[in-house]
Amino acid sequence: MVAKFLHLEWKQFTRSSYFAKSLGIKILMIFLFLYFAAIAVILGGSFFYIVKKSMPEQEPMLFLSSYLIFWVLADLAIRFFWQQLPVMNIKPLMVLPIKKSKVVHYLLGKSVFSFFNLYPILFFVPLAGVLIFNNYSIFDVLIWLLSIVFISLSLNFINFLINKNNTYFYSLIAFIALSIAANHFQLINFETISSRLFYPLFSQQWTLAIPILLLVAVYMLNYNFVFKQFSLDGVVSKKSEAVETSELNFLDKFGAVAPFLKNDIRMIWRNVRPKQVLLTAVFFLFYGLFFFTQDTFADKEWVTVFAGIFVTGGFLITFGAYVPSWDSEYYKLMMSQNIPYKQYLESKWLLICLGCVIASILSIPYIYFGIKIYAIILAGGVFNIGLNSFITLYGGALNRIPIQLNVKAKAFENTQGFNLTQFLIGLPKMLFPILVFFIPYYFLGFKAGLIGLAGTGVLGILFKQQLMQFIEKTYQKGKYKTIAAFSEKQ
């Protein structure tokens, strides 16, 4: 039965219109996986010797056990934002003589085959080999290694629970927040607790039963939760909710593009995915703190341009990159109406520019780091409006992967609406402004670089009509391919 499930999913993947793009993303992910896998193996193989050399009096396994609790917390956080949970189209299977338990076990089993479950093994297996080589008990090391593997798998299923059930999510967040607060006020000590929890896994063999029982418990919780949701009525029926309405009359002054602007704002307000992306754009406002608080970048203004682009371009990067995928669920209807592409694109451009303007205003507190810093941020905002906005819209013409507006997914890991072409189109948005600033900055100084950056944005605004015409022709050329691709569900 598992082989049949895998065969069906392979057919769905290879027969889709987005096969080549998804394949490109997977190839890129393979290279990233190999890179991080190599780092994990090297760190695992050298950890024992690093501790022995830097802290000769410290027992390496006791030292490691003191910090494993931080690995658990970091692992959960990374999984929550990045791990893509397994999905499966179960509607066709519900009317077939297949036991629900088999489908649920298969779905949960899919989540085991993830990089997030593999990377601890890539670190801890070389470490275990080094321990055995240094005359540690083989049996003790293997018991400890199995315990770590079971804990990692338990974290996998805990992440499944907190993603699918708000009760588990808020309970875990509250527990972690209280623990951090208690540690901060020295009511508890994380390192002491960690060593008492994890070192017995190495020194006392019977403790292997604890990770095994934990894994069985969280797996059964997941199984019961998914099994209860596995019903045809639950899938087919739709929950009706009261929808808040707003006329948004203040947008009428934008003329013909006002209906499109209203539609986009309502879409963001009412749907899950756009809300998540908007929240992500807000976090971009704090990106500059990484650069502006570091002494390393204090005398390198050209490097801070990168931060300026991100601070003011959060909405452009997150929301703008998925144009026109946001409208994929009703794109065919829109294109069947007498709607000029120019008005549609102008509305998207105005919305992106509005996001850049609001971000520039909200970034005023960066004046605390100096007028020069805020001048770079403002120049980056002008560049985003004048050039990056058009590059973003042009990239949208090549984006033909639909987005489901009300599917809850992590904004950092979901690849709906993303493809390798989008990634390549996005590179100039990051690198070109640094080049535009650096060349005059290197030869003529800071003010010349600032004028070059802002001036390029102003030029883009002056040639807006020509740029929009070029982008409109690109959209028109691929119109029917886009409609066909959006009609296919991933």
Quote the percentage of the chain above a pLDDT of 70: 80
CA distance 304 to 380: 10
pLDDT mean over 371-386: 90
More confident position, 490 or 231: 231
pLDDT of 425 strictly over 50: yes
Question: Is the model's pLDDT at 257 over the cut of 60?
Answer: yes
Condensed to tens digits (0 to 9), the pLDDT of residues 294-326 reads: 766 656 677 788 888 889 988 888 888 888 888
Per-residue DSSP letters for 123-165? HHHHHHHHHHHTT--HHHHHHHHHHHHHHHHHHHHHHHHHHH-
Query: Which of 291, 267, 328 shows the shortest CA–CA distance to 489?
Result: 328
Mean pLDDT value of segment 182-197: 84
Backbone angles phi, psi at 415, to 5 degrees: -105, 10
- CA separation for the pair 199, 300 (Å, rounded): 46
Q: How far apart are CA 104 and CA 219, in angstroms?
A: 11
Per mean pLDDT, which of 273-282, 364-373, 452-461 is the most reliable? 452-461
Res 424: pLDDT: 65
Cβ 121 vs Cβ 35: under 8 Å: no
Give me the pLDDT at residue 414, please.
Answer: 43
Mean pLDDT, the chain, as a whole number?
80
Q: Average pLDDT, stretch 259-287?
A: 83
This prediction has a pTM of: 0.58
pLDDT of residue 289: 80
Question: Does the structure show a pLDDT above 60 at 194?
Answer: yes
Q: What angle do CA 321, 322, 325 make, to 5 degrees?
A: 155
* pLDDT at residue number 418: 47
Q: How confident is the model at residue 25 (pLDDT cuts 50, 70, 90)?
A: low
pLDDT band at residue 247, thresholds of 50, 70 and 90?
low
Which pLDDT score, from 0 to 100, does residue 214 have?
Answer: 93
Mean pLDDT value across residues 198-211: 88
Residue 246's CB: how many other CB atoms inside 10 A?
A: 9
DSSP codes joined into one string, 381-447? HHHIIIIIHHHHHHHHHT------TT----TTT--TT--HHHHHHHHHHHHHHHHHHHHHHHHH-HH
For residue 80, count other CB atoms closer than 10 A to its CB: 18
Report, as an integer, the average pLDDT of 66-80: 84
